[in-house]
Amino acid sequence: MGDRYILSLDCPNCNHVDDDVYFAPTCGFVDWKCPQCGHVIDLYEHTGMIYKDCSNADLIQEIIEGILHK
């Protein structure tokens, strides 16, 4: 489980603008395919984010351990 983002992208191939690009690395939504020309953009590369930046698994585990050890 982790963060989800809605991005706005301009396709570098055909200049199509998409204001509703879903980027959710922890759910596997990491690429965008232009609906106009089919060009694919790697959203990790485009945003500079990595999986670890978007995941809150460590925080959830810490909370669970805190509750169990009380």
N residues, the chain: 70
Burial class (CB in 10 A: 0-12, 13-18, 19+), 70: exposed
Q: Are 34 and 56 in contact (CB under 8 A)?
A: no
> Does residue 5 surpass a pLDDT of 90?
no
Q: Round to whole Å and give the CA distance between 43 and 13.
A: 15
For residue 16, pLDDT over 70 is answered with yes
- Of residues 46 and 58, more confidence is placed in 46
What average pLDDT score do residues 15-35 get? 92
